[in-house]
Structure 1
Amino acid sequence: MRIVRVANFVAPRSGGLKTALRNLGEGYQAAGHESVLVIPGPSFSDEITSQGRVITLPGPLVPGVGGYRVLLDRRRVASTLRSIDPDRIEISDRTTLRWLGRWARRAGVPSMMVSHESLDGLLRLFGPASGRRIGDTLNRRTAQDHDQIVCTTQWAANEFERIGMPNVTRVPLGVDLQRFTPDRHDPDLRARWASPDDVLLLHCGRLSPEKKPRRSLAAVEGLRALGVRAVLVVAGAGPLRNALQEEAADRGLPVRFLGHVSDPVELATLQASVDVAIAPGPVETFGLAALETLASGTPVVVSSQSALPEVIGSAGLAAGGEGLAYAAAVREILARPVESRRAAARAQAEKFPWSASVAGFLAAHSGSFVGTM
């Protein structure tokens, strides 16, 4: 098959969507299919990569979100797709790219929408329960416009199943079990940020409002109030970085802001060398950074409102509420023997190889897959 994937809001340097697109594309190519990815960028480009052909079309920056671009020129996108002549279309954005389902149907091309975000969750951030009616309407239209909806967790699938949409498939994403491994644990790197008596925490992710990074700062503050010598390392950039740095300084919190860590080996080493990671975002539909941290042998405290409790299993803990709940969960994890909690984290991650994700996505493209976690 020639599988053409179209995505918006792909971070320019890193991010879960970028990672998923790359690994799936490489898997499609390895399985003998032709993968083409169409994404926005500052200018046109067309190149052959390990994940297949990647076409970049000019797309404007979205103000205030730190580098995301979108494909707004529908005529150019449609013209590009016609020139490629796809056998399947895989779409990664339920907002600005939903029109592609209708385009694909008119062109006689089977389409698949990948639900990388929860509309229920996003609307919950901005309004009361009345937002659910809006979400239900939009989700119904999305499911009706596409042949297949792929959700990476049951949590993400719930909003479609609640309204009786029959074309929903669950396929978990995966993790690179060779890059992310407990063997990268590095005492010297750990000593760069914390003393031997400190508890070293990690927040790894984009510093934007929907990710709730202030919960991680509040967790450090809560732990230190309880007498736990906690230090937080923040790996990630975003529009809230300056404000968070000022808040940490004003409150006298030992928080080290690393910004975007461009070296993938350095990031994997950091994930393997901390004691506990915090992933507080309430609208995560899968959470690749958390899974990569588990693969590195580090347990994770996650938001009980997100899909992550489903992903981390018993290898971490889910916290409800704000910072104090996260502090309590960190303390509970620290009470577990170090070797057993690290082994449990790795064992949980090993349930999610990318090979299984690729097989599931390809089966969904054939219309025959019914996924399970």
Structure 2
Amino acid sequence: MKIAFYTDTYLPNRDGVVTAIMNFRRALEAKGHEVFIFASGSRKTKKENTDPHVFFHLAAPFKPYPQYKIALFPFLSIPKVKQLGIDIVHSHGMATMGLAADRAARTLKVPYFGTFHTLIPHATHYVAGNVKPISKATERIAWEYLKWYYNRCDVSIAPSNVIRSLMEEHGIRNVQVVPNGIDIERFNPKVDSGPIRDWWNLRKKKVILHMGRLVLEKNLEVVINSALLVLEEEPDAMFLIVGAGPAATYYKHLADKKGVGNRFIFTGFVEDKWIPNYYACADAVVVPSKFETQGLVTLEAMACGKPVAGADYLATGETIRDGIDGFLFNPDDPEECAEKIVMALNSKRKLRTNARKTAEMYSIERCTERLLALYEEMV
């Protein structure tokens, strides 16, 4: 089959959506299918692109959230999808490129899929600020738009059961669950931790890792507020915060204000090739986010055999079995967060083994088989 992925975010950006797209592309191509990616991008990105299966459409930054771009002429993709003879259109975003996906599927009269990657109604602060009445109204409008958009798809895909339930509660029909798979060969318990521990002088420290973009919805604040409590129990602990984002300065200042700035290392942007090594250097991984539709960080960490202390909220709360393959805490409770981080640091081998087994259930091969089964039902 020839499959067109449409997305509002793609390389050189790195986020969970981009990772999911790249993983599915590799797995589908390994099975003999062709995947073409239509994405928004800058003039520079478009000029430097050398991948014949990727087509960038000139876009302007979305100022409230620069990671996403607004494609200026997304419908110019239509002649190309006609020329390629696309069999399936699969949208991985619901903004301008998502609208182009809708038009492409209808023009070609081919099956149309849409994955619900991002919980936009929970990120309305980028538009409405912290004014509650405006934020609530914006949230309602966002859900109305998402209902309209995904009900135009032949099949809507949720990455987790909890997100499927949320979609159905808001009137979205024909929802199927297909998790975003992970590369369990790349992320494994045997990855070398030495380079990262040496680089950051962490050889004799207990490392608590947070991986991901530094944005307010990732809720890193609860981890910073829990740090003094963790240090009372684990005086050699260090918090390694991997990633960049618009909230980085806020979180750094908060750590200093709480008197724990010297126990937090903010790495900034890290090259993708080093990500498995960062997981490897961790003694525990913390995932406090209240924004996860699935949470690839949780699964990647578990694939590396790392104990995860995660927010008992949305998809993270669905993935982790508390006390069996990880630990769950109330994302608004710093004391419980600290307690579960300490438990993760001192977890037994059996829990770490269970974490790896859980992650294996989400291998990209398994998830791709499920996705292909849905494609084949519609072709």
Q: Give the structure-2-normalised TM-score.
A: 0.86
Match of 2:310 in 1: 302
Please tell me the residue identity of whatever aligns with 1:300.
V
CA drift at 1:333: 2.5
Q: CA deviation at 1:75?
A: 3.3
1:20 matched to which residue of 2? Answer: 20
Identity %: 22
Corresponding residue for 2:116?
115
Cross-structure match for 2:320: 312
Shift of 1:252: 3.4
> Which deviates the most, 200-209 or 93-102?
93-102
Instruction: Tell me the distance in 2 between the aligned counterparts of 1:154 and 1:5.
Output: 23
Q: Aligned pair in 2 of structure 1 residues 327, 185: CA closer, same or farther (>3 Å)? A: farther
1:237 to partner: Cα distance: 0.5
1:275-303: CA deviations, max 9, x gaps? 11111110111111221111111111122
Residue 365, structure 1, aligned to residue 339, structure 2: no
Counterpart residue number, 1:239: 246
Tell me which residue corresponds to 2:336.
325
Q: What is the CA–CA distance in structure 1 between the aligned matches of 2:39 and 2:33, rounded to whole Å?
A: 19
Q: 1:261 matched to which residue of 2?
A: 270
CA distance in 2, matches of 1:131, 1:223: 37
Aligned match of 1:34:
34
2:328 and 2:223 map into 1 onto residues whose CA distance is 13
Match of 1:146 in 2: 153
What's 1:289 paired with?
Answer: 297
Q: Give yes or no for the alignment of 1:222 onto 2:232.
A: no
Distance 1:142 1:122 in 2: 18
Equivalent position of 2:213 in the other structure:
206
> Matches of residues 59-138 of structure 1 in structure 2 within 5 Å?
59-100=59-100, 102-103=102-103, 104-119=105-120, 121-122=122-123, 133-134=140-141, 136-138=143-145
Q: Which amino acid aligns with 2:347?
A: R
The amino acid that maps onto 1:273 is C
In the alignment, the residues of structure 1 paired with residue 368 and residue 6 of structure 2 have an alpha-carbon distance, to the nearest angstrom, of 17
Q: Decide whether the 8 Å contact of 2:121 with 2:140 is kept in 1.
A: no
Query: Are residues 42 and 135 of structure 1, via their aligned partners in 2, closer, same or farther at CA, if it must alter by over 3 Å?
Result: closer
Query: CA offsets, 1:77-131, max 9 Å, x none?
Result: 3344344342111001124444346422244121100110234544699757777
1:273 equivalent among 273, 281, 293: 281
Give the Cα separation in 2 of the matches to 1:245 and 1:132. 29
Show CA shifts across 1:225-250 (max 9, x none): 55644210011011111232233234
Instruction: Assess, with a 3 A threshold, how the Cα gap between structure 1 residues 62 and 101 changes in structure 2: closer, same or farther.
Output: closer
> Could you give the per-residue CA deviations for residues 316-351 of structure 1, whole angstroms, max 9, x where no partner exists?
1222114332112112333432x2232222121111
> Aligned with 2:40: secondary structure?
strand
Does the CA-based 8 Å contact 1:11-1:68 persist in structure 2? no
Alignment CA distance shift 1:368-1:304 (3 Å):
farther
Equivalent-residue separation in structure 1 for 2:42 and 2:137 (angstroms): 38
Distance 1:158 1:101, change over 3 A: farther
Q: CA RMSD in A?
A: 2.8
How far 1:305 moved relative to its partner? 2.0
Name the amino acid aligned to 1:334: L
CA distance in 2, matches of 1:87, 1:248: 51
SS in 2 for 1:81: helix
Secondary structure at the aligned position of 2:256 is classed as helix
Please tell me whether the aligned partners of residues 156 and 173 of structure 2 are also in contact (alpha carbons under 8 angstroms).
Answer: no
- Listed as ranges, the matches of 1:157-236 within 5 Å are 157-163=164-170, 165-186=172-193, 189-190=196-197, 192-194=200-202, 196=204, 198-225=205-232, 228-236=235-243
How many residues of Structure 1 are paired with residues of Structure 2 in the alignment? 364
Q: Secondary structure at the match of 2:71?
A: coil
Please give the TM-score of this superposition, normalised by the length of structure 1: 0.87
Question: What's 1:349 paired with?
Answer: 359
**SS of residue in 2 equivalent to 1:231:** strand
Any stretches of 5+ residues in structure 1 without a counterpart?
none
Q: 1:358 to 1:286 in 2, by over 3 A?
A: same
Contact kept in structure 2, 1:40 and 1:57, CA below 8 Å: yes
Distance 2:66 2:9 in 1: 10
- Give 1:352's aligned amino acid: Y
Residues 343 and 190 of structure 1: is their aligned pair in 2 closer, same or farther, counting only changes over 3 Å? farther
**8 Å Cα contact 1:177-1:295 kept in structure 2:** yes
In structure 1, which of residues 228, 232, 252 is the aligned counterpart of residue 260 of structure 2? 252
**Per-residue CA shift, 1:7-52, capped at 9, x if unaligned?**
0033524222121111111122122221100112222359675xx7
